[in-house]
């Protein structure tokens, strides 16, 4: 029995601790016994994690200097990137495996518009404009200074991560890894060479300090063989298995395709998709755990649909299944408060987001500086 506490006051204290933890104006509630919180701490990963998906890519062209620098300055925990390799062997950060959507390739290499990224040298890629597409696609967020932005190497993204007072971590995906045999070992060499596989300096007090922690790098992939190779190359670096339904990933209950479904858009089709069985989902959790993952990155369905709204792989029972096996859960890609709240209430441990500013607000740690002010200060 603790001194100074009556039985009644002790039980009141315990009850209140267990039930509430904290509740923010944003609607984010923290239970005292969040299972993912302890698991994240064990893996050295911040909880809940703000993972800036392709940088602050709602506000600046994805995977470019302003996108990553803005994410760092806002205070995101991680800069997320998709890694590919050029024909001359350089690791670069780029999502799509062709250059049509995010560059002016049609103007520069008109006969190569559908060629894979892997068929270009770095020098060829650096001739492309990776910013103007954003201004055309998002007139409301366009900036003249985005025109002419370059595709970045992994080295250049690391320079950005290291270059400010905030010291975010790196959340690195091997993209279409079967196209790039040996990329896992290339990645290990680069991270080792840059000093990211061992302890890094501490950030000044009050700044993001993820790069100093054991979770400074998180490796992610949709592909089981790549997870195995990443684990072999970097056994002590946290790894996350990304989850999808169908197409060689988790088996769906139905093999109906989008085309046959008659659904009005892909989000509506995905919303109808279900996992074949609880056993099938459990088998993926077991596989991830047995092959070195510390977490999963599931697809999620968004309240208002859109082209980032996928199948719902973050149902409470799924998150519990992951947590019960010691896996944390980082869903992709969530940008709106309504979804942060809804999906968050199902027990996840952070989000991939294009809108780090909004997620930071939701978690009660908003940037003190406005987005506009940061972009001007960093030269955009
Ligand atoms: O890496 C998590 C999430 O980014 C997966 O989707 O296609 O945006 O890489 P994608
Ligand atoms: Ca990714």
Note the pLDDT of residue 30: 81
Q: Which residue has the CA at smallest separation from atom 5 of ligand 1? A: 332
Nearest to 72 by CA among 166, 144, 207, 184: 166
Distance from residue 88's CA to the centre of ligand 2 (Å): 23
At 260, give phi and psi (nearest 5°): -75, -20
d(CA 331, CA 322): 12
Counting from 1 in the atom list of ligand 1, the atom nearest the Cα of 173 is: 1
Q: Is the CB of 84 under 6 A from ligand 1?
A: no
**For the domain 32-85+169-377, what is the CATH superfamily, name and number?**
Phosphatidylinositol (PI) phosphodiesterase (3.20.20.190)
Note the pLDDT of residue 308: 95
3-state secondary structure 61-109: CCCCHHHHHHHHHHCCCEEEEEEEECCCCCEEECCCCCCCCCCCHHHHC
Q: Is the CB of 220 under 6 A from ligand 1?
A: yes
Q: Is the CB of 190 under 6 A from ligand 1?
A: no
Counting from 1 in the atom list of ligand 1, the atom nearest the Cα of 333 is: 3
d(CA 218, CA 207): 20
Q: Is the CB of 297 under 6 A from ligand 1?
A: yes
Counting from 1 in the atom list of ligand 1, the atom nearest the Cα of 82 is: 9
Nearest to 337 by CA among 363, 317, 312, 299: 363
Note the pLDDT of residue 366: 97
Tokens 């001007």 label which residue?
A: 376
Pocket test of ligand 1: the residue of 54, 63, 76, 82 to mutate, having most ligand atoms within 8 Å of its CB, is 82
Q: What global pTM score does this model have? A: 0.94
pLDDT for 209-259, tens place per residue?
A: 999 999 999 999 999 999 999 999 999 999 999 999 998 899 999 989 999
Question: 205: which residues sit within 8 A by CB, 6+ positions away?
Answer: none
Note the pLDDT of residue 10: 41
Answer yes or no: 323 catalytic. no
Q: Of the bound ligands, which one is closest to the alpha carbon of residue 244? A: 1
Q: For the chain, which residues score pLDDT lower than 50?
A: 1-20
Q: Which residue has the CA at smallest separation from atom 2 of ligand 1? A: 332
Question: 135: which residues sit within 8 A by CB, 6+ positions away?
Answer: 142, 143, 144, 146, 147
* CA distance to 74, 263, 360, 375, per residue, from 69 (Å): 9, 39, 16, 9
Note the pLDDT of residue 21: 57
Q: Is the CB of 351 under 6 A from ligand 1?
A: no
Q: Where are the beta strands (DSSP E) in the chain?
A: 22-23, 29-30, 49-52, 78-85, 91-93, 152-153, 169-174, 217-221, 239-243, 295-298, 328-329, 350-353
Answer yes or no: 53 catalytic. yes
Helix-strand-coil split of the chain, %, nearest 5: 40, 15, 45
Helix (H, G, I), strand (E, B) or coil at 191: helix
204 contacts 165 by C-beta, under 8 angstroms: yes
Note the pLDDT of residue 15: 40
Distance from residue 303's CA to the centre of ligand 1 (Å): 19
pLDDT for 314-359, tens place per residue?
A: 999 999 999 999 999 999 999 999 999 999 999 999 999 999 999 9
Q: Is the CB of 57 under 6 A from ligand 1?
A: no
Pairing of strands 78-85, 91-93: antiparallel
d(CA 264, CA 261): 9
Counting from 1 in the atom list of ligand 1, the atom nearest the Cα of 308 is: 8
Note the pLDDT of residue 1: 36
Q: Is the CB of 53 under 6 A from ligand 1?
A: yes
Note the pLDDT of residue 340: 97
């Amino acid at each position: 029995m603790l001194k100074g506490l009556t039985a009644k006051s002790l039980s009141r204290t315990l009850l209140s601790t267990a039930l509430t933890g904290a509740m923010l104006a944003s609607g984010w509630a923290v239970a005292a016994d969040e299972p993912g919180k302890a698991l994240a701490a064990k893996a050295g990963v911040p909880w809940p994690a703000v993972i800036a998906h392709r940088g602050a890519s709602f506000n600046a062209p994805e995977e470019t200097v302003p996108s990553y620098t803005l994410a760092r300055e806002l205070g995101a925990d991680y800069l997320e990137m998709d890694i590919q390799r050029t024909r001359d062997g350089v690791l670069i950060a780029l999502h799509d495996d062709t250059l049509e959507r995010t560059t002016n390739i049609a103007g520069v290499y008109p006969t190569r518009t559908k060629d894979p990224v892997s068929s270009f040298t770095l020098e060829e890629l650096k001739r492309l404009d990776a910013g103007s597409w954003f201004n055309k696609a998002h007139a409301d967020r366009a900036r003249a200074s985005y025109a002419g932005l370059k595709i970045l190497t992994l080295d250049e993204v690391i320079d950005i991560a290291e270059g400010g007072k905030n010291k975010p971590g790196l959340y690195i995906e091997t993209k279409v890894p079967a196209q790039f045999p040996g990329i896992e070992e290339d990645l290990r060499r680069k991270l080792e060479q840059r000093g990211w596989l061992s302890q890094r300096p501490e950030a000044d007090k009050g700044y993001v300090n993820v790069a100093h922690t054991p979770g400074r790098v998180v490796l992610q992939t949709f592909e089981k063989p790549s997870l195995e190779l990443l684990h072999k190359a970097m056994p002590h670096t946290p790894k996350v298995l990304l989850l999808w339904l169908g197409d060689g990933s988790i088996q769906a209950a139905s093999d109906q395709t989008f085309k046959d479904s008659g659904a009005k858009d892909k989000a509506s089709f995905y919303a109808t998709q279900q996992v074949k069985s609880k056993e099938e989902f459990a088998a993926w959790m077991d596989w991830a755990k047995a092959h070195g993952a510390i977490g999963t990155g599931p697809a999620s369905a968004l309240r208002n649909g859109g082209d980032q709204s996928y199948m719902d792989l973050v149902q409470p029972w799924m998150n519990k299944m992951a947590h019960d096996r010691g896996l944390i859960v980082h869903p992709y890609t969530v940008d709106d408060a309504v979804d942060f709240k809804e999906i968050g209430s199902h027990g996840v441990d952070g989000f991939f987001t294009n809108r780090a500013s909004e997620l930071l607000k939701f978690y009660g740690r908003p940037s003190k500086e406005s987005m506009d002010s940061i972009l001007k200060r960093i030269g955009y």
